[in-house]
Each structure stands twice: as structure tokens, then as C-alpha cells.
Amino acid sequence: MMSKTIYFCAGWFTDKQNKTYQAAMTAIKQNPTIDVENSYVPLQHQYKNIRVDEHPEYLHDKEWATATFKGDCLGVTTTDATLAVYIPDEEDVGMGTEIAWAKAHGKYVLLVIPDEEWGKPINLMSWGFADNAIKMSELASFNFNQPSFNFYEGAVY
């Protein structure tokens, strides 16, 4: 079966984000339409392998910030689609930028929302740039070879 590369857009700064990140990572590894090995996972591409959640002193390092930003932009533009693991009550400004960057480059954008968060209001701009939104429980079987459009069933603010 043919598979697609994805830009794996997900936060990892809170316990809730980490739990959701791991659930999504498990699901994509089970999805035969995703080429996980050649996909771009930002956490695996931090400049010089420096994670600012483990080394906050780098939050002020312009070299780290510039290189990590440029690497992530490259990740969005060189993959087939963007998968954004979206937690409605922990919205990430960076994720909004990555979603917009992906859409500006003609990439398919899929929001993946944890089942227990499904239906909660989401940001208008994230909603507007997304081509589809699915529950986390649907991710392992979502067919990236046949991307589809659909509306998010929850409210938008």
C-alpha cells in the first residue's frame, strides 16, 4: 500500500500534551497509509538535539530558535500532509502558524482531536485552515491516500 509522509504537529510541554502526543504517535505507527520513518516529527529534529523543555536556557538562544524554526518550516514544505494534534483547551500558537504555513504551501491539513475533547470549541483560524477534523480513535485507520474534506462538529470561536 502506498503511504504518505506527514508533518507531525503536536505539543509536548504539558502532561496532557505529552499523553496526547504519545497516543497520536502510537496511532500513526499503526496506520499503513503513513510513512512514519520518512515523516517529519519536530521533536526529533530539534537543532543540535536540544529540547527547550529540558534546557530552558536555550529559550534565549537565537541560533537554536532560528535553526529549529527553519527546520520545522522545511518539514512542513517537504512532507505530503500536516497532521495537527489539537487540544481545544490547550491551543498552541506555534501550531496555528504551522497549520497556516502548510495550507499556504498547498498541503492537506488534518486536525486530530482527543476523543474526550471532541466537540469543544476550537479556534476559527485553525478550523478555517483545516481540511478535516477527526477523533484520535479514528487516526490509526484514516486513509491518507484518499484525503477528504469535512467540517468539525464542535463550535468555533
Catalytic residues: 98
- Cα separations in angstroms, 43 against 18, 31, 51, 93, 151: 12, 20, 8, 16, 29
Q: Whats the size of the chain, residue-wise?
A: 157
The torsion angles phi and psi of 133, rounded to 5 degrees, stand at: -135, 135
CA distance 18 to 150: 27
